[in-house]
């Protein structure tokens, strides 16, 4: 079924989100360094960390849907509310990363002072987006803890990552992405463990078949 195949994307999407988040953190340190955003965004190299960050949060969206499908029967109302809140918040967060890719380079050339400032409606938009994202993932993590589908340590890491998503720092989704990767890994192992094993006596007897 299509939903079953989508649920299996938790592991690869989690791995991709974590790898791109880590890459974005490293590239931001290299490209931006101690300089200003407007100076960094004026160079073509600025697209490397921003595209990595945008790709990471898109992978998080896919992983979120896959993790929800993996335990939808056990989550309950809190899990559904957390999933929907996290979905909306992550989409809004992706919009914030989108602006880094397509808006900041333009501002760095035409209004560098505006690119370096985070104030007004822009600041409110970022705060609300990532606050909603962090809250949604936290509720989803609490529901996952109650569902007991995933290991407790991985869900606790997801809680920590959800809180850190609200903190304004480079690659704020790194810990969250690592937690999602861990959840995807455990889900993949659990799926592999319950696959029926075929034994030799399950094979059709060729002599009888003849």
* Within a domain: 177: yes
Q: Residue 32 and residue 55: Cα distance in Å, rounded?
A: 19
* 203 pLDDT higher than 80: no
Which segments within the chain are labelled E, that is strand? none
* Within a domain: 47: yes
In whole angstroms, what separates CA 171 from the centre of its chain?
A: 11
* Within a domain: 64: yes
* Within a domain: 200: no
Per-residue confidence (pLDDT) for residue 206, from 0 to 100: 43
Helix/strand/coil for 167: coil
Q: Residue 196 and residue 166: Cα distance in Å, rounded?
A: 43
Task: Name the pTM for this structure.
Answer: 0.85
- CB contact set of 146 (below 8 Å; sequence gap of 6+): 76, 78
Q: Tens digits of per-residue pLDDT, 93-148?
A: 999 899 889 988 888 888 777 777 777 788 888 899 999 999 999 999 999 999 99
Q: How many domains does the chain have?
A: 1
Q: Tens digits of per-residue pLDDT, 42-82?
A: 888 989 999 999 999 999 999 999 999 999 889 989 999 99
Give the residue numbers spanning the domain of 49.
2-188
- Residue 204: band (very low, low, confident or very high) from pLDDT cuts 50, 70, 90: very low
Per-residue confidence (pLDDT) for residue 105, from 0 to 100: 87
* Within a domain: 206: no
* Within a domain: 197: no
* 209 pLDDT higher than 70: no
Tokens found for residue 102: 């397509």
* 182 pLDDT higher than 70: yes
The torsion angle over the Cα atoms of residues 125, 130, 133 and 138, rounded to 10 degrees, is -140
* Within a domain: 201: no
């Amino acid at each position: 079924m299509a939903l079953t195949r989508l649920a299996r994307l938790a592991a690869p999407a989690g791995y991709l989100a974590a790898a791109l988040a880590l890459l974005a953190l490293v590239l931001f340190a290299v490209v931006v360094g101690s300089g200003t955003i407007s100076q960094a965004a004026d160079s073509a190299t600025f697209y490397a960390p921003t595209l990595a960050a945008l790709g990471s949060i898109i992978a998080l969206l896919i992983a979120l849907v896959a993790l929800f499908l993996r335990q939808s029967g056990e989550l309950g109302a809190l899990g559904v509310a957390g999933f929907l809140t996290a979905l909306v918040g992550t989409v809004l967060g992706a919009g914030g990363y989108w602006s880094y890719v397509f808006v900041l380079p333009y501002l760095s050339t035409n209004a560098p002072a505006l690119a370096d400032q985070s104030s007004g409606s822009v600041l409110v938009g970022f705060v609300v987006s990532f606050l909603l994202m962090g809250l949604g993932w936290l509720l989803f993590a609490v529901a996952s803890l109650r569902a007991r589908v995933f290991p407790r340590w991985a869900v606790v890491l997801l809680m920590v990552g959800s809180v850190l998503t609200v903190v304004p720092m480079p690659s704020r989704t790194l810990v969250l992405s690592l937690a999602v990767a861990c959840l995807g890994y455990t889900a993949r192992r659990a799926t592999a463990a319950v696959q029926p094993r075929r034994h030799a006596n399950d094979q059709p007897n060729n002599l009888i078949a003849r």
